[in-house]
Amino acid sequence: MQLRTAFNEWGSFTKGKFAGRQWLLAKWEVCAGVVWPQEKIDIMLGLVAQRLDLKAENSFIDLGCGGGWMLGGLKPSVGFAVGLDFSAQMLQNAVSIKATDALVQGEIGRLPLKDASFDRALCYFVLINMMDDAIVERAIMDMLRVVKPGGRLLIGQLPDQARSADYDRAKASYIDFCRQSGDLGDDLRDVNRMPQKLFDVPKLTGFLQQSRIGYKKMPSFNPFYRPGESPTIEWRFDLLLEK
Ligand SMILES: C[S@@+](CC[C@H](N)C(=O)[O-])C[C@H]1O[C@@H](n2cnc3c(N)ncnc32)[C@H](O)[C@@H]1O
């Protein structure tokens, strides 16, 4: 599959020196050598942990865990942490930073997991690459299937198509900020981008209502956060699904 190949290649490019870094939120940041301050990572992981209400007795799975940097950061908050990804190279990167208690290679939509296996599940910045609505809907149903009754699934960083101009503005301003702080060279350009879906919010929430899935739509973590800015943004949203 083409997308999996692209992630395997990215995993090879980032292994070693980039493993464990925040890289997948913005590919160009990795290529330009931008490193997020720990404060920013702490805010992001804190927001995720709070929304998922992570507890020491929880079993937790990160679906589309990539190189495992979020998984590694959240692992101390739960009893048992598992990462799943369809890219073997991404999983190897997660192994190299000892991000987790167990890793599974598998595809969201056809998860090789039993029903009701986990108390908490995270799917962060993954559905953005699923271009077809039917594939997104199948992915959501499959992820919910593996969550226990009473459990939670947080789907993070869904770009709102109605707010894409706000995203472009925020990105331009962040690039300026990085340039001024000396993090970026003059030759910054967008590296070959993965396909990225913009979400039709009424259509997606209509699907959840029709499927009788309880959800909360909330602002997402601001990947362009810098001191003085809001830590959350409206141009991407998160869905918290409670089963
Ligand atoms: C943009 S990265 C995000 C990684 C991580 N969640 C993060 O936020 O740093 C997307 C990850 O999802 C994985 N992925 C994409 N589609 C998938 C699918 N259908 N099943 C399993 N993994 C998938 C990719 O291999 C990649 O590691």
pLDDT digits (tens, 9 = 90+) for 144-198: 999 999 999 999 999 999 999 999 899 888 888 887 877 666 555 555 666 789 9
| DSSP secondary structure code for residue 56 in this structure | T
* Confidence at residue 172, expressed as pLDDT on a 0 to 100 scale: 86
Strand order in the sheet with 118-124: 102-105, 80-85, 59-63, 118-124, 147-159, 232-242, 215-221
DSSP letters, 19-47, are TTSSGGG-HHHHHHT----HHHHHHHHHH
* Confidence at residue 134, expressed as pLDDT on a 0 to 100 scale: 97
Distance CA 83, CA 61 (A): 6
C-beta separation of 64 from 130 below 8 A: no
CA–centroid distance, 211 to ligand 1, in Å, is 25
* Confidence at residue 103, expressed as pLDDT on a 0 to 100 scale: 94
- Nearest Cα to Cα of residue 242 among 87, 51, 69, 67: 51
Ligand 1 mutation target, pool 30, 126, 127, 158, most atoms within 8 A of CB: 126
pLDDT digits (tens, 9 = 90+) for 62-102: 999 988 889 999 999 999 999 999 999 889 888 877 778 89
CA–centroid distance, 102 to ligand 1, in Å, is 17
Enclosing H/E stretch for 48: helix 38-52
| DSSP secondary structure code for residue 158 in this structure | E
Q: Which atom of ligand 1 is nearest to 66's Cα?
A: 27
- Is any ligand 1 atom within 6 A of the Cβ of residue 22? no
* Confidence at residue 228, expressed as pLDDT on a 0 to 100 scale: 86
pLDDT at 231 over 90: yes
In order of start, what are the domains of the chain with their CATH numbers?
A: 2-242 (3.40.50.150)
pLDDT digits (tens, 9 = 90+) for 124-157: 999 999 999 999 999 999 999 999 999 999 999 9
* Confidence at residue 80, expressed as pLDDT on a 0 to 100 scale: 95
Q: Output the residue whose Cα is nearest ligand 1's atom 16.
A: 126
If you search the block for the tokens 């070959």, which residue do you land on? 192
- Is any ligand 1 atom within 6 A of the Cβ of residue 30? no
Q: Which atom of ligand 1 is nearest to 11's Cα?
A: 27
C-beta separation of 23 from 29 below 8 A: yes
Q: Are strands 232-242 and 59-63 parallel, antiparallel or unpaired?
A: unpaired
Distance CA 48, CA 114 (A): 24
pLDDT at 12 over 80: no
Strand partners, 217: 239
Q: Are strands 80-85 and 59-63 parallel, antiparallel or unpaired?
A: parallel
* Confidence at residue 49, expressed as pLDDT on a 0 to 100 scale: 98
pLDDT digits (tens, 9 = 90+) for 19-77: 656 655 566 677 777 778 888 889 999 999 999 999 999 999 999 998 888 999 999 99
Q: What is the pTM of this model?
A: 0.93
Distance CA 56, CA 215 (A): 24
pLDDT at 1 over 80: no
Q: Are strands 147-159 and 232-242 parallel, antiparallel or unpaired?
A: antiparallel
